[in-house]
Amino acid sequence: MKRRNFVLLASAGVVAVSIPAVNYFFYGIPDYDKKLSIPQLLSLIWDEEKILSIGAKYSETFAEENSERDLARALFADPLNQSYDKLEEMTQADFDEGRMVIIDGWVLSKTEARQCALHHLQNQKA
């Protein structure tokens, strides 16, 4: 095989492999357990309707995070560490570092509010 043909073939291979990877990285929704979109602690005090309502209001207020992809990436950045324990750590860190939002008079961590918004978006699709 001539060097020129080899370089063209190799370049085509690199492009063929990288296009799906780039597409996923910029436009894909990461895999995550859909059950983790329900805030565990808040589900003890709120019903499904209230969680969805808070999620809808968060989505309206923070339009830059109004997609399943953005919320899933914010909540589940580490695909190997997706659990309620990890979300609880993130929630505690939000409160410790002052990352809170007030929605309907409730002071929520960004993590909890994002979970509500993600759950709201999931229910819109269903």
Please report, for the chain, the start and end positions of each structural domain, with discontinuous segments joined by +: 1-30, 33-125
Tell me what pLDDT residue 17 has. Answer: 57
Provide the pLDDT for residue 125: 75
CA dist 102 and 70 (Å) reads 20
How confident is the model over 77-88, as a mean pLDDT?
A: 89
Mean pLDDT across the stretch 26-43? 82
pTM (two decimals): 0.77
Alpha helices in 1-126 (DSSP H): 3-27, 42-45, 48-61, 68-75, 84-96, 110-125
